[in-house]
């Protein structure tokens, strides 16, 4: 079982928008702006970083739910930063408030839900081969 994760624990990550992070990479008729799936991936990674220091050996956190809004577009080479903060824990799931910014502009926000699992048991339970 994971250690107690303090409410307010934070994690973050950032990336520079590359072509493969844009809508154009998925379809040539779409604009070259940061995609919502990439924004969500960044939010989930920040959530992982918020919880991982509290995991025991062999444990990781996995995403279980998302509720986010992508408000503003950003283009190639923009530096985007995600921050996740633990808001609550119900005994099984952690809810984290997430925001993504570019400079002082908020690009997106919302909540994600994550659970801490033993990776070996998780892979075995779902019949997923180890990498």
Q: What CATH number is given to the structural domain containing 45?
A: 3.10.129.10
For residue 56, the model assigns a pLDDT of 94
Per-residue pLDDT of 87-130, as tens digits, reads 999 999 999 999 999 999 999 999 999 999 999 999 999 999 98
For residue 3, the model assigns a pLDDT of 63
pTM metric for this prediction? 0.94
Whether residue 35 is predicted with pLDDT greater than 70 in this model: the reply is yes
Encoding tokens for residue 128?
Answer: 């997923």
Q: Which residues, 6 or more positions from 27, have their beta carbon under 8 angstroms from its beta carbon?
A: none
Of the candidates 39, 43, 34, the residue with the CA atom closest to the CA atom of residue 83: 43
CA 82 to chain CA centroid, nearest Å: 8
Domain assignment present for 4:
no
Position with higher pLDDT, 4 vs 8: 8
Q: Which residues are catalytic?
A: 36, 44, 70
Domain assignment present for 106:
yes
Encoding tokens for residue 54?
Answer: 């509290």
Band (pLDDT 50/70/90 cuts) for residue 43 is very high
Total domain count, the chain: 1
**What average pLDDT does this structure show over 44-61?**
96
Place of tokens 């930063």: 81
Domain assignment present for 111:
yes
Handedness of CA 49, 75, 102, 111 (dihedral sign): negative
Whether residue 1 is predicted with pLDDT greater than 70 in this model: the reply is no
Domain assignment present for 30:
yes
CA distance 100 to 96: 13
Whether residue 2 is predicted with pLDDT greater than 80 in this model: the reply is no
Domain residue limits at 57:
10-125
Encoding tokens for residue 67?
Answer: 């509720």
CA distance 94 to 82: 17
CA distance 37 to 122: 24
């Amino acid at each position: 079982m994971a250690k107690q994760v303090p409410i307010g624990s934070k994690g973050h990550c950032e990336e520079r928008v590359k072509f493969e992070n844009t809508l154009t990479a998925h379809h040539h008729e779409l604009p070259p702006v940061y995609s919502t799936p990439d924004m969500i991936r960044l939010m989930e990674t920040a959530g992982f970083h918020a919880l991982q220091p509290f995991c025991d050996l062999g444990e990781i956190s996995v995403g279980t739910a998302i509720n986010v809004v992508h408000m503003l577009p950003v283009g190639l080479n923009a530096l985007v930063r995600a921050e996740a903060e633990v808001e609550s824990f119900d005994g099984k799931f952690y809810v984290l408030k997430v925001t993504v910014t570019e400079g002082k502009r908020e690009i997106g926000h919302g909540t994600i839900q994550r659970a801490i699992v033993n990776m070996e048991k998780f892979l075995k339970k779902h019949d997923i081969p180890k990498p």
